[in-house]
Amino acid sequence: MDEGELTNLCGGTWQGIEVLGNPNTHQYGAGQQGVVELKNGAKVKYADMGVSLFERGNAGQTGGGILRVAGAEFTDNRWGVVFYDYAYQFNRVELSNRSYVNNGTFNLTEDYPFDVFFAHAYVGFVNGVRFRDCTFTDDRPAGQLADDSQLARGIRSEGARFTAEGCRFSNLLYGIDALGFGESRNFRARACTFTGCYVGLSMRGVDNAQVTESLFTVGGYNRPVDSGIGDPSLHSGIFIDRSSGFAIEKDTFEHHDAAVNTTIGITAQDTNLPDGNESQHSDYNEIYSNAFTGLSNYFWEQGINEEPVCSPEFKMASLLLAGEKIIPIWQIKTTSAGITYSPLTAPGRYCGNTSLRAANFGKEPRPSPRPPPAA
C-alpha cells in the first residue's frame, strides 16, 4: 500500500491485515510466503491487529508472512504489528526473518476505540525482525488508563530475537519489554531514545542482549503502573532480571525535568541467576562507558550478590558525572551469583574503566515489576 489509508467504517473497528505464510519453508524465494508492503505514509487505523503475520486463530499453521514497512503510520490499533511462532531452520541454523519496519510511527490518541491495549509491536518466538527509526508513543489522557489491561508497551518480545535501531519510545509503561521464556534468542537496541517511560527497557530471562549508544530520560511517567508492581515510585532507565551476558555500553541516563519520583539509571536483580530450572550462569556482563546525570540513584541493586575480585576480565563502570571529578573507587563484577559493586583495593587495576560514587547506590529488596500475560 503506497500512501493509502485503511481504517474503520462508520466509527467501528475492523480486524486488520492478515499476511499468511508457510511455517515449513523459508522466506528467501519469490512466492514462498505472503508479503505486505506499507510505504510513503501509508496509514492503518482502528484495527484489532494492524498487521498480523499469520492467520488469526491458526498461527501455528500459517506463520512466515513477511512485512516490509518504509514509512507508515499505525494509529489507535489494539496491536500495531504482530509476529508470532515462525523460526525456520536450515541445516539446524535459524534463518533471520526478512521482515522489517523502517520509519514506522505507532501512536495511541484520545480516540482509541478498544477497552484493552498491550503493545504496539509484539514479537513472539521469531528470529531477527528489525525496527529502524520508528516512534512508539501513547498520547491518551491518563484518565483513560483505568486498569492494567490498558497500559502501553512499545515493543514486547517473548522468546524472540529482534533489533531496534534509532527508535524513539515515550509515555509508555515499558518502551521495550523483553522476556526470554527459556529461549536463546535475544535483542539489540542501539541509538534509541527512551523518554518519560516507567521503565525504558526491561529484560527478564534474556541472555546476551546488547543496549548501546542510547539515551534514557528517566522519570516523567505520571500515569498508572501495573498493579503488581510493589513500589511504583521507582522509575528505571533499564531493568535487568535473571539475565546474563548482557552489554550495556555508551548509554546516557539523565533525570527527566518533570520527574516527581525516584529516578534510577539501572536496576539489576539476580543477574546470572537461573530463570526456571537452568543452572547458574557464568557469563560476564558489561556495564561500561555510560554517562549518568542528575538521577536519584545510578544503580539499584536487588537479589543475591557476592564480593568481587578485581581482575582484567571484568569491566568497570565508566560513569561520567556531570560537573564532578571522576574518582576511580568502585568496581562492578558479575559472577554466577549476580552483579556486585565494591571498593577498589588495588589502585591502577581499573580493568580499562573508571568508577562511580557509593552515595548513588540503592540496595533494598522490593517486588520485581512484572507485566500481565500477553493478551
Query: What integer pLDDT is reported at residue 173 of this predicted model?
Result: 97
Residue-level length of the chain: 375
Distance CA 123, CA 118 (A): 12
Confidence tier at 337 by pLDDT (50, 70, 90)? low
pLDDT tens across 295-309, in order? 887 777 665 433 333
Provide the sign of the torsion angle of the four alpha carbons 187, 164, 138, 232, taken in this order: positive
- Which position has the higher pLDDT, 5 or 304? 5
Confidence tier at 31 by pLDDT (50, 70, 90)? confident
β-strand partners of 47: 14
Confidence tier at 290 by pLDDT (50, 70, 90)? confident
Distance CA 45, CA 297 (A): 40
Please say if the pLDDT value at position 359 is more than 80: no
Mean pLDDT for all residues in the chain: 81
Q: In the chain, where are the structural domains located?
A: 5-363
Query: What integer pLDDT is reported at residue 296 of this predicted model?
Result: 84
Residue 109 class from Cβ within 10 Å (0-12 exposed, 13-18 middle, 19+ buried)? middle
User: How much is the CA Rg of the chain, to the nearest whole Å?
Assistant: 21
Q: Which of 219, 286, 224, 230 is nearest to 253 (CA)?
A: 219
Please say whether the beta carbons of 220 and 254 come within 8 A.
no
Confidence tier at 316 by pLDDT (50, 70, 90)? very low
pLDDT tens across 74-105, in order? 999 999 999 999 999 999 999 999 999 999 99
183-208: average pLDDT:
95
Listed range (46-50, 224-228, 283-287, 358-362) with the worst mean pLDDT: 358-362
State pTM to two decimals. Answer: 0.84
Listed range (215-229, 237-251, 337-351) with the worst mean pLDDT: 337-351
Please say if the pLDDT value at position 4 is more than 50: yes
17-30: average pLDDT:
94
Please say if the pLDDT value at position 351 is more than 90: no
Q: Which of 351, 361, 285 is nearest to 318 (CA)?
A: 351
172-183: average pLDDT:
94
